[in-house]
Amino acid sequence: MKAAATTPPGDLGALPLDPSWVDEVLLAGAGSEPCLFFDEPVSRDELRRLVLGRQTVLSAAGLRRGGSLALCLAPSLALVANLLAAWRIGAQAALLDHRLTPLETARALARLEPQVVVAAAQPVGSGPARGFYEQQDVVTAHPGRPARSPHAVVQLSSGSTGPSKIIGRTAADLVAELDRYARIEGVPGAGERIVSLASMVHVLGLVGGLLHSLHAGVRLAIPRRPTAEGILATVAAGSEPTTLLGVPFHIELLSWVAEPPRLPQLTGMTTGGELVRAQVHDAFVNRYGVRLGSMYGMTEVGVIATDLFGAHRPELTPAPGIALREVGGELLIAREQSPYLDHGAPAAAGPIRWADGWLHTKDGGTVDPGTGRVRVLGRLDSQISVGGLKVDLTEVEEALTTLPEVAAAVVVFGTSIEAYVVLRPEGTAARVEAQLTERLAAYKRPRLIHVVDRLPRTATGKLVRDRAALSGAGRSLQTPTVQEQSNRKGSTSDVH
């Protein structure tokens, strides 16, 4: 951990583009032992050879210390090798999700302006989803510019509630987060194994999966098929104590398995992203008989608070070194510098989201003054006013998802409250509406219930809450509620 001691995380002037941290923090260790598992195990010696080989290729393409690179690769050994090689050169690496469309990728590259782009020789096809791919990379020069900040990694936010933000993190910041992981009880350590279901181009899979595993001597396995059967087969393939790492979507996926195989090596699962519904939590724990831990974090910061044993659910304990407070119902995180790199539009991202050393999470929450534990209550932008009365759309959404007829739901607000709902086979919109009348006051209830085949998700598995995206979500039926029909028939000022 020499890098963390050399420069504090908030100092942007020294360490972040110093390549020595890669060897000291990520690539050190016994050479013959496997550290990564795709289809075949990869030893540290082999990984170091691959990184050196990619470093030669990237240098030949003109990448230098202080340069900029964009990686447009699916999760793969090629992605890992190119990322570590870029950092070992001392360049800034931007990670673009392979699931972006060509237009979205082109727009991202126009915003990022990298000097070098690494992409797959053949794009990922439209077949069944995979946890990783065998990719041959192509390195090309790009009409960009050197890194304009000393951040080591640049990521785009998930965009679940609006346009993606460009977020940068220094090497010192990443090392500090790895130190937090090492100090959190319940995080896998040396000799254990993580089966990661989270994409390594996003913060949970990148730091909590890949970087933590390399740093701590944890064996990291990626399922080839991200199906329930594929995930459980990957768990069964190793004998070490194993923790699953994923998001609530993966918990629901695994909870649908009627009779899971006996997996004595499975010790638990850690989930990030959205809050886990109580019935989903209980279904998983009862089915697998292991702990289900929760982690709260952001792309801007990484891990913020955890409850890896479910001991304080729904409260979380701040991670070591995290300073967190609640102001006006919003959770704020201490951070010396703004993480936002939206060049050309800094005012839209900086002052609103970061000011005076505090990052505004835009998440509602409380901090217990006695224990210091935090309770995350959902997005502040989910709070709206209906006829002068405050409504938290998270509360409406939770009321919907607890109904036995509802498999998934998203609630949004335009001119009125609307719900997009995926029903279970026995469910009907009429029964959903009838049950909501017992659970929610009239002014909180959706005026329209859209029954859809599926709900769109971001690349990180979060449900999308953008009305434009939801309007094309494979709609099979749009049902005005009884209250909405009444409004249309008898009111001169229709609320919709």
- What tens digit of pLDDT does each residue of 445-486 get? 999 999 998 888 776 667 887 777 787 665 444 455 544 444
Q: For position 458, what pLDDT does the model report?
A: 74
Q: For the chain, how many residues are written?
A: 496
**Nearest CA-CA partner of 292 in 315, 276, 305:** 276
DSSP-assigned beta bridge partners for residue 330: 327, 364
Contact 247, 198 (CB under 8 A): yes
Find the range with the poorest average confidence among 26-35, 40-49, 57-66, 157-166: 157-166
SS3 157: coil
Does residue 337 have a pLDDT over 70? yes
CATH number, domain 2-375: 3.40.50.12780
Q: How far apart are CA 342 and CA 329, in angstroms?
A: 27
Mean pLDDT of 417-436: 89
What CA–CA distances, in Å, run from 366 to 105, 271, 374? 38, 21, 6
**Nearest CA-CA partner of 187 in 289, 332, 297:** 297
**Nearest CA-CA partner of 335 in 3, 2, 12:** 12
Q: For position 316, what pLDDT does the model report?
A: 95
Query: Which DSSP state fits 164?
Result: P
Q: For position 101, what pLDDT does the model report?
A: 82
Q: For position 168, what pLDDT does the model report?
A: 95
Cβ-based neighbour number of residue 5 at 10 Å: 10
Q: For position 162, what pLDDT does the model report?
A: 52
Mean pLDDT of 198-227: 95
Q: Domain coordinates of the chain in residue numbers?
A: 2-375, 387-490
Q: How far apart are CA 439 and CA 50, in angstroms?
A: 58
DSSP-assigned beta bridge partners for residue 153: 93, 169
What CA–CA distances, in Å, run from 349 to 255, 296, 329? 38, 21, 21
- To the nearest 10°, the Cα dihedral for 192, 193, 199, 200? 50
Helix (H) or strand (E) holding 85: helix 77-89
Q: Which residue carries 């699962």 as its tokens?
A: 269
DSSP-assigned beta bridge partners for residue 140: 117
DSSP-assigned beta bridge partners for residue 269: 244, 292
Does residue 87 have a pLDDT over 50? yes
Angle, alpha carbons 184-190-194 (nearest 5°): 75
> Please, which pLDDT band fits residue 258 given cuts at 50, 70 and 90?
confident
Mean pLDDT of 28-36: 90
Crossing angle of the two packed helices 248-255 and 278-288, in degrees rounded to 10: 50
CATH number, domain 387-490: 3.30.300.30
Q: How far apart are CA 152 and CA 161, in angstroms?
A: 26
Q: For the purposes of burial, counting CB atoms within 10 Å of the CB of 101, is it exposed (0-12), middle (13-18) or buried (19 or more)? A: exposed
Mean pLDDT (the chain, rounded): 85
Mean pLDDT of 181-188: 96
Cβ-based neighbour number of residue 284 at 10 Å: 24
DSSP-assigned beta bridge partners for residue 375: 315, 366
Amino acid, res. 112: L
Does residue 175 have a pLDDT over 90? yes
Q: How far apart are CA 315 and CA 377, in angstroms?
A: 10
Per cent of the chain over pLDDT 70 is 86
Contact 363, 373 (CB under 8 A): no
**Nearest CA-CA partner of 368 in 307, 281, 294:** 307
SS3 389: strand
Find the range with the poorest average confidence among 45-59, 339-353, 427-441, 470-484: 470-484
Tokens of 63: 């990448």
Q: How far apart are CA 77 and CA 94, in angstroms?
A: 17
The pTM assigned to this predicted structure is 0.80
Contact 203, 458 (CB under 8 A): no
Contact 27, 51 (CB under 8 A): yes
> Please, which pLDDT band fits residue 348 given cuts at 50, 70 and 90?
very low
Tokens of 133: 């791919």
